[in-house]
């Protein structure tokens, strides 16, 4: 198991750099660097030096962007921080050019439906835009955020999302599951094995994989 070291964006970049430095004795346990906490007033460019240092150390890069922040924060996380994967990212849907870019480049969005509703990103689950992003070709996947705060692990997020969106069929469910595997930072061989197991299970159940 490997971990993503997360820094808090409402603190200063120097605090984030100090966190990265403090983690060095346990560097072998960390595979990436992430950026969490409040987006408003804390744009991606605030952490450019931190992300450059993490990249130089060989860490994979992710960042919360486009949850409460605008679509521009998603673009800046990609372009200014070098993020390989975006946490949340649902406001990317406000920029059609950005949606096309995400789809073309295979940038994954780790979408957390229950969290998004609890934090009033969407008024209710039926208003969630995950189906639209998925059908636009974006590599979205279902995640749990913090289950203790937001009321459910990954399975609960799937259940509530699918119940609220009957337009999502078994092929869509397959794509969501496959996206989560393909977006992993696990070794390529491990990812291929996971995808193979998913495909075999889907076929055995006689389900449509789209």
> What residues act catalytically?
67
Q: Where do we find the tokens 């094995």?
A: 193
- β partners of residue 65: 88
For CA atoms 111, 5, 61, 73, give the dihedral sign.
positive
Which burial class, exposed, middle or buried, applies to 64 when counting CB atoms under 10 A from its CB (0-12, 13-18, 19+)?
buried
First-to-final CA distance of the chain: 31
| Helices (runs of H) and strands (runs of E) counted in the chain | 10, 6
């Amino acid at each position: 198991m490997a971990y993503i070291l997360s820094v808090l964006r409402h603190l200063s970049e120097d605090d984030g750099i100090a966190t990265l430095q403090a983690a060095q004795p346990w560097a072998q346990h960390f595979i990436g660097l992430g950026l969490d906490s409040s987006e408003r007033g804390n744009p991606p460019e605030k952490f450019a030096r931190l992300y450059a240092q993490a990249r130089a150390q060989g860490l994979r890069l992710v960042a919360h962007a486009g949850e409460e922040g605008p679509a521009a924060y998603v673009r800046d996380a990609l372009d200014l921080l070098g993020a390989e994967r975006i946490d949340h990212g649902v406001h990317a849907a406000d920029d059609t050019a950005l949606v096309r870019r995400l789809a073309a480049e295979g940038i994954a969005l780790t979408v957390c439906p229950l969290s998004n509703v609890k934090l009033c990103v969407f008024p209710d689950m039926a208003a969630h835009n995950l189906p639209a992003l998925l059908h636009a070709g974006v590599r979205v996947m279902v995640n749990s955020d913090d289950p203790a705060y937001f009321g459910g692990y990954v399975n609960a997020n799937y259940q509530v999302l699918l119940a609220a969106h009957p337009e999502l069929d078994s092929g869509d469910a397959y794509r969501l599951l496959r996206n989560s595997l393909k977006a992993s930072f696990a070794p390529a061989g491990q990812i291929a094995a996971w995808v193979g197991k998913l495909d075999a299970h889907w076929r055995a159940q006689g389900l449509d994989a789209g």
